[in-house]
Each structure stands twice: as structure tokens, then as C-alpha cells.
Amino acid sequence: MDCLFCSIVNGEIPSEKVYEDDKILAFKDINPQAPVHILVIPKIHIQSADFITDNNSSYIAYIFEKIPEIAKICGLKNGYRIVSNCGPDACQSVLHIHFHILGGTQLPDKMA
């Protein structure tokens, strides 16, 4: 399967990792939209929120368990935003579910 983020997981494409364990990987976004912009992904391929099932939802729960630790590693002390784009209307550009962690500044009040 040709998936950019699976290629990052298996090391074919390099990334600036900030956290990794057996289930998830967090790395710096190549085109940051905030002073801190991290992507958190499961190491298994899940296309988007539309593809979360009983069989894979433990990875998503685990990501949310780990996000506070990842935010701390990245120096986020005053809050952060978690975003996951799902499908064309949300401009999802990489079809491997990912959670953007944005912070390091006062973010805009409006989200869309």
C-alpha cells in the first residue's frame, strides 16, 4: 500500500520524531502552521475517523492518553489544539489518520 505516513512509520521516509513507542509515532509537521505543530499517528493504517472500528479504536484511545505527555515533551505549558481532518470537505491530504497538535502561541478563536 502506498501511504506516506506508513512510509514514515517504517523509516522509508525520514521524520523529526518527538515521541515513539510500539503503537504510535509523533513527529514535527513539515509545514508548521503554529510555533509547535506535531502530528500524532497510529503505527497501523487507519484511513481517517470514518474508519475507526471496534478493532482499532484502542489505538485512538491510546493516542489521546499519550497526547498530554507529547505536549509536555514539546514544551506546551499553556494549552494546545488537537485537530483531525476527515475527508475532502476538511481538506484531509494524507489518508492515514493523524492528530495535529498545535500550540506555542495564542491560537485563533475561530476554527473554520
- Mind telling me the catalytic residues? 98
Cβ contacts of 54 within 8 Å, gap of 6 or more: none
| Site for ligand 5GP contains 91 (CB under 6 A) | yes
Q: State which residue, 96 or 100, has the beta carbon closest to Zn ion.
A: 96
| Site for ligand 5GP contains 48 (CB under 6 A) | no
Computed on alpha carbons and rounded to an integer, the radius of gyration of the chain in Å comes to 14
Q: State which residue, 55 or 93, has the beta carbon closest to ligand 5GP.
A: 93
Q: State which residue, 4 or 73, has the beta carbon closest to ligand 5GP.
A: 4
Q: How far apart are CA 25 and CA 61, in angstroms?
A: 14
List the one residue out of 65, 47, 67, 69 whose CA is nearest residue 56. 47
| Site for Zn ion contains 94 (CB under 5 A) | no
User: What binding mask, one character per residue, do residues 5-34 give for ligand 5GP by CB under 6 A, x or -?
Assistant: --------x-x-----------xxxxx---
User: To 5 degrees, how large is the angle CA 35–CA 36–CA 37?
Assistant: 115
Interacting residues with Zn ion (CB under 5 A): 3, 5-6, 45, 96
